[in-house]
Amino acid sequence: MYTLLHNVGLRKGLLAEAPSLILSILVAELFYKFHSFTFECVAFLVTWYAVSRAFALVGGLRSERPDTQV
């Protein structure tokens, strides 16, 4: 975590990850009831990774579109 924040920066990292973090917290709170902190924490981290990856793919697809405006 330290290396990530050191390389990317706190502000840039938060701006990039905030939407996926918030969505992942909501999913974890609503659906993860494993009665084990460890299992819920791991499931939350996997969810955060998956949502972040999905946002990155969608963002990448959006930025690769040719600009049709003249």
Task: Give the model confidence (pLDDT) of 29-47 as tens digits.
Answer: 999 999 999 999 999 999 9
Judge whether 69 lies within some domain: no
| First CA to last CA distance, the chain | 43
- The model's pTM is 0.79
Which parts of the chain register pLDDT below 50?
Answer: none
Does 7 map to a domain? Answer: no
Distance in angstroms (rounded) separating the CA atoms of residues 24 and 43:
10
Whether residue 27 lies inside any domain: the answer is yes
Q: Is residue 39 situated within a structural domain?
A: yes
B/e letters for 39-70, b = 16+ CB within 10 Å, e = fewer, are eeeebbeebbeebbeeeeeeeeeeeeeeeeee
Query: 27: burial class by Cβ within 10 Å (0-12, 13-18, 19+)?
Result: middle
Residue span of the structural domain in which 37 resides: 17-63
Count of the separate structural domains present in the chain: 1
